[in-house]
């Protein structure tokens, strides 16, 4: 599979996973954390799916399209490992994390803190969707929609 194929599958998986959980996650009170704002495409999709939820987005630098940039109070700039710590205990309804790099060594470092952060930020019953696996005793893996290959994206519910 070319990198273009892989990129297309990743974006399709993001959309399909977020659509798949939206009815259930919409019923959960709490903020949504968008871990890795990037261009803002998934932020834009999340705000369409969850118009009544506050979405707080994190990135080390602002690089989103002007049409998909959160308001200043919902944007947290800096290294997520540090900037998201104050959100542990916030009882989030949903954490969406898209900060995989495709480099195993870099992703391994991210995975030393991301699962704990996601589990700590979520409310009981809250959901996490991630491009990297979030192995944590408080996160129960959930089945993916049939259109998404196993290992392409990851879905969890906070126990």
CB 131 within 8 A of CB 99: yes
Strand partners, 139: 158
Helix (H, G, I), strand (E, B) or coil at 84: coil
Question: Shortest distance, CB of residue 146 to ligand SAM, whole angstroms?
Answer: 23
The pattern of x and - marking residues 118 through 137 that bind ligand SAM according to CB under 6 A reads --------------------
What distance in Å separates the CA atoms of residue 120 and residue 9, rounded to the nearest whole number? 29
Smallest distance, Å, CB 2 to ligand SAM?
18
State the Rg of the chain over Cα.
Answer: 14
Compute the least distance from the CB of residue 150 to ligand SAM, in Å: 21
Cβ atoms within 10 Å, residue 89? 11
Residues 45-84 interacting with ligand SAM (rule: CB under 6 A): 59-60, 63, 79-81
Site string for ligand SAM, 12-51 (x = CB under 6 A): ------------------------x-xxxxx---------
- Cβ-based nearer residue to ligand SAM, 107 or 125: 107
Cα separation, 128 vs 93, whole angstroms: 9
Element (H, E) at 121: helix 114-121
Residue 102 found at the interface with ligand SAM (CB under 6 A): no
* Contact set with ligand SAM (CB under 6 A): 36, 38-42, 59-60, 63, 79-81, 98-99
């Amino acid at each position: 599979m070319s990198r273009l194929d892989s990129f297309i599958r990743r974006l399709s998986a993001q959309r399909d996973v977020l659509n798949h959980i939206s009815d259930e996650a919409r019923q959960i009170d709490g903020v949504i954390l968008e871990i890795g704002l990037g261009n803002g495409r998934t932020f834009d999709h999340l705000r369409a799916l969850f118009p009544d939820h506050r979405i707080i987005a994190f990135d080390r630098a602002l690089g989103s399209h002007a049409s998909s940039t959160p308001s200043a109070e919902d944007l947290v700039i800096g290294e997520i490992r540090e900037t998201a710590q104050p959100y542990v205990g916030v009882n989030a309804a949903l954490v969406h994390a898209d900060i995989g790099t495709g480099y195993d060594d870099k992703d391994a470092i991210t995975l030393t803190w991301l699962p704990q952060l996601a589990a700590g930020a979520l409310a009981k019953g809250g959901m996490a969707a991630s491009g990297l696996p979030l192995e944590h005793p408080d996160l129960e893996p959930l089945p993916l929609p049939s259109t998404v290959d196993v290992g392409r994206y990851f879905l969890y519910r906070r126990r």
